[in-house]
Amino acid sequence: MNQDLSIVNMVINASWVVQLVMLLLLCVSVASWAAIFRKVFALKRVNVLNDEFERDFWSGTSLNELFASAAQNAKHAGPMERIFASGMREFQKLRERRITDSGALMDGARRAMRASFQRELDAVEINLAFLASAGSVSPYLGLFGTVWGIMHAFIGLAGLQQVTLATVAPGIAEALVATAIGLFAAIPAVVAYNRFAHDIDRVAIKLETFIEEFTNILQRNLGAQSASGH
């Protein structure tokens, strides 16, 4: 009896529709775990690069030196460094065009940083929608497999004169495996999605705070240059 109701035998003896649902859920589970591991390492790298650049930024290094370093390290830079580089690049371009209005200079730099911020946030959020979809759809796929399997089992029992628990149990057990696999695929995806959404919100807040602080620094530098010019 134990051998007949082992997980492997229940999967093998299930109907082809239920087997197809199980295979689909298994693929979703593998893809979810792959996305989870990629996201873990990606967020860790983002945080490390942001922290390194933030230390350099507040260490007293001049903005021009930081900008030159960011230009050389563009391929391996973190989100904060790329946002800084986009703001400095736009700021210097406007200065080269002889634009002296501080409002126009600051608006241009801020718009460039906000656009860069949105690009960086989109890159960080890659695979997040897939985890949300996997977490919400997998239980329903498993439930569909279970309903189909139970329906198939009862149709098979329709011709029997006497139905006992021993005859009903195998078919229902085979069908319930689909729900179990659906939950196995959904639970890690939901937990990971909530965790990553929280971590990404923290990254976004940190980047937005940096944009405001860097904008204030540029504003002070413009004020100091204007005062020295007069």
Indicate if the alpha-carbon torsion angle 11, 15, 16, 18 is positive or negative: negative
Q: Provide the pLDDT for residue 17.
A: 83
pLDDT tens digit sequence for 169-200: 777 777 788 899 999 999 999 999 999 999 99
Q: Name which residue leads in pLDDT, 39 or 8.
A: 39
Q: Provide the pLDDT for residue 2.
A: 43
pLDDT tens digit sequence for 45-102: 999 999 999 999 999 888 889 999 988 887 889 999 999 999 999 999 988 887 777 8
Residue 82, both tokens: 């790329």
> Is 152 in contact with 168 (CB distance < 8 Å)?
no
Q: Provide the pLDDT for residue 163.
A: 63
Instruction: Give the per-residue SS3 of the chain.
Output: CCCCCCHHHHHHHCCHHHHHHHHHHHHHHHHHHHHHHHHHHHHHHHHHHHHHHHHHHCCCCCHHHHHHHHHHCHHHCCHHHHHHHHHHHHHHHHHHCCCCCHHHHHHHHHHHHHHHHHHHHHHHCCCHHHHHHHHHHHHHHHHHHHHHHHHHHHHHHCCCCCCCHHHHHHHHHHHHHHHHHHHHHHHHHHHHHHHHHHHHHHHHHHHHHHHHHHHHHHHHHHHHHHHHHC
pLDDT tens digit sequence for 120-166: 999 999 989 999 999 999 999 999 988 888 887 777 777 666 666 66
Q: Over 60: is that where the pLDDT of 230 sits? A: no
Length of the chain: 230
Confidence (pTM) = 0.82
